[in-house]
């Protein structure tokens, strides 16, 4: 009996240590799950803000404001703008010979590139906006000639590139869309962005 009683304390100690290890493992698992959940929520929020930035860019293109961003101005001006005709598009190309973009309005920048890196070098040339979540939205619009526009399409294609940056963690996410407007709906700015106008939508890799 005395021998059996002498084993009680070591057994309790071993069980206590085992319980502590199990509790620590469970705590680490919960912390990992919480971290993964936070990361997933952040990615989802950035993606929603990136899609919203595409809508903001389209509204910018379709705007009929009288500011310099939407009017060519005089021949002596040097600002970038959204053209409406072929001669205006040619004027824009001559004004952008010195740089790739001005305030998010860009000349064609070559073939598709799914990498985010080149756009991070153009942050100073982007147009900026703030998402409802408080995250920073940046976007660029490349304007291409449509080779053979259909009767119900505009003569331009727009490649919209968006980079969204988290206001809290600094995490970034980029997407790129190709959009061609329908002239019949060009004046309907109150309507949501029609998905039929998006010819492509892809995520940019880091």
Rounded Cα–Cα distance for residues 169 and 137 (Å): 14
The residues with which 203 forms a beta bridge, in sequence order, are 175
In this structure, the strands spanning 172-179 and 198-203 are: antiparallel
10 in a structural domain: no
Nearest to 157 by CA among 144, 148, 147: 144
Measured between its terminal Cα atoms, the distance across the chain in Å is 69
Quickly state the pLDDT bin for 31 (edges 50, 70, 90).
low
Q: What span, in angstroms and rounded, lies between the C-alpha atoms of 110 and 200? A: 16
Within a domain: 134: yes
Tokens matching residue 79? 């600002």
pLDDT in the model for residue 83: 93
- Phi/psi for 182 (5° steps) reads -105, 115
Does the predicted model carry a pTM greater than 0.95? no
Question: Is 3 a residue whose pLDDT tops 70?
Answer: no
Torsion of CA 117, 123, 126, 127, to 10 degrees: 120
User: Is residue 5 scored above 70 in pLDDT?
Assistant: no
> For position 94, what pLDDT does the model report?
94
Question: For position 1, what pLDDT does the model report?
Answer: 45
Residue 196 lies in a domain: yes
Q: For residue 151, is it within any domain?
A: yes
Q: Is residue 119 part of a domain?
A: yes
Which residue range is the domain that position 164 belongs to?
Answer: 27-64+101-203
Could you tell me if residue 69 is inside a domain? no
pLDDT digits (tens, 9 = 90+) for 46-100: 999 999 999 999 999 988 888 999 999 998 899 999 998 889 999 999 999 989 9
In a domain, 130, yes or no: yes
| C-beta separation of 161 from 54 below 8 A | no
Using 50, 70 and 90 to split pLDDT, how confident is the model at 190? very low
Count structural domains, the chain.
1
Calculate mean pLDDT across residues 111-116: 88
Torsion of CA 124, 128, 132, 135, to 10 degrees: -10
- If we measure between CA atoms, which residue out of 173, 138, 200, 177 comes closest to residue 45? 173
Structure confidence at residue 189 as a pLDDT band (50, 70, 90): very low
pLDDT digits (tens, 9 = 90+) for 154-183: 689 999 999 999 988 888 999 999 998 876
Whether residue 170 lies inside any domain: the answer is yes
Two tokens, residue 73: 């101005």
Report phi then psi at 103, rounded to 5.
50, 40
Mean local confidence (pLDDT), 11-35 = 72
């Amino acid at each position: 009996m005395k021998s059996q009683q002498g084993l009680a304390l070591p057994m309790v100690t071993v069980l206590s240590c085992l319980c502590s290890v199990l509790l620590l493992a469970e705590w680490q698992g919960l912390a990992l799950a919480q971290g993964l959940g936070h990361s997933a929520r952040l990615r989802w929020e950035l993606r929603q803000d990136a899609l919203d930035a595409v809508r903001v860019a389209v509204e910018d293109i379709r705007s009929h404001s009288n500011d310099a961003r939407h009017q060519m101005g005089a021949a002596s001006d040097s600002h970038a703008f959204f053209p409406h005709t072929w001669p205006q598009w040619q004027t824009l190309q001559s004004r952008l010979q010195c740089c790739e973009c001005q305030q998010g309005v860009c000349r064609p920048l070559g073939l598709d590139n799914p990498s985010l890196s080149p756009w991070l070098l153009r942050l100073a040339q982007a147009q900026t906006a703030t998402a409802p979540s408080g995250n920073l939205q940046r976007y660029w619009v490349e304007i291409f000639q449509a080779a053979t526009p259909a009767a119900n399409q505009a003569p331009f294609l727009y490649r919209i590139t968006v980079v969204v940056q988290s206001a809290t963690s600094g995490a970034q996410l980029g997407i790129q869309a190709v959009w061609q407007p329908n002239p019949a709906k060009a004046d309907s700015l109150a309507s949501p962005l029609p998905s039929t106008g998006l010819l492509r939508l892809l995520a940019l890799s880091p």
